[in-house]
Structure 1
Amino acid sequence: MRKLSILLALTAASPAMAASKNPFSAYFWSFGNTDLIVAIAFFVFIGVLFYFKVPAMIGGMLDNRADTIKSELDEARALREEAQKVLADYERKQKEVQEQANRIIEAAKEEAAEAAVQAKADIKTSIARRLAAAEDRIASAEASAVKEVRDSAIVVAVAAARDVVAKQMTAASGNQLIDDAISQVESKLH
């Protein structure tokens, strides 16, 4: 039963609803028409927004936000450019340091090669000096040995000559030799 009464009420309201869509009907302009009330509220709301300058405030806020974003983008660009400059500077410095390290390595290699050449020359000089010293010692030893042999030969010759002279010498021939030696010394001194 209740369903029937709701159905009858809806069918009775249908002509009013149909009339609410027609602006030339009397029901359209009454406060029972919710479409009219919603339209009036909408226009009042729009009026209040314009009265309090909400669109200008929203536009200003959007402009401020756009300016903030633009300044942040400009700052980001500036930071990016600065970072690129710093990166380029570090890359340049790294390249210079690498070149300097290469030059140091090359200089060290050259110095090592020169030191090796100098060491070889020093070794050759040292060997030559040692050979010369050894040759001098050998020559000295030879001279010493020759002198010893001569001295021994002289001692042997003197002993042999003494023996020979002692066997052949008489007292008269000894006196004659002494007289001859004295006369030779006198002639050479005067």
Structure 2
Amino acid sequence: MGKIYDSLLSGTSGRTGRIVVANMFGNEFTKIRPRKRTSAPSAKQLLIYQRMRLSAEFMQSYRAYACDHFGRRIGMKSCYNLAMTNLMTNFLIDFAAGTITPQYPSISFSKGSLLAAVPLTLTLPTPETLTVTWQDNSAGNPARETDWVQILIAAKDQPLTSFVENAAQRTAGTYTANVPPQMVGQDLYVWLAFRDTLGEEVSNSVYAGTII
């Protein structure tokens, strides 16, 4: 991929032959348009495609949040790109066995410098509800007392997740979420993060654990 410092195809649109000029975040880049595939993908390629699909499905519930709150843009890598990289890194492929295994404790959905959550317990008052508790670590700081907790719930072998945005304030220390019908009776994995009341600053997400 080449970077253009003075517009190569100024005033044009579309493509010229196999050369494509793309504008990314105010910068122009030249790329060669890939040729159409003429052969069936290999087993290895299919696993890589499947991992990308599973990662996109996993992020579907919190994609809008991740696009704003997964760290900071690094060059051409957006927050979304960084969040997808985190997922694909932690969806491990075993090419010999032909399997993809999520490494749930290592998955993140939020990246920031705000004071992180300290998870305490996970309980299931009913099969349809999940109660999460965390420590009020605001230490009397009014700005931290009003931070909102963000909760991500995943279920074993389920592609989709459930995201509860602005569930309760940091000082509440507890929240009971509804478990989506397709997750009832499954092993549940839970993560927590905080966002300030202005919706600008967030904490790193923390893996709160799993409950069967």
In the superposition, the TM-score normalised over structure 2's length comes to 0.16
Q: Select the structure with the greater relative contact order (CA < 8 A; seq sep ≥ 6).
A: 2
Higher share in strand: 2
Which has a greater percent of helix? Answer: 1
**Greater gyration radius:** 1
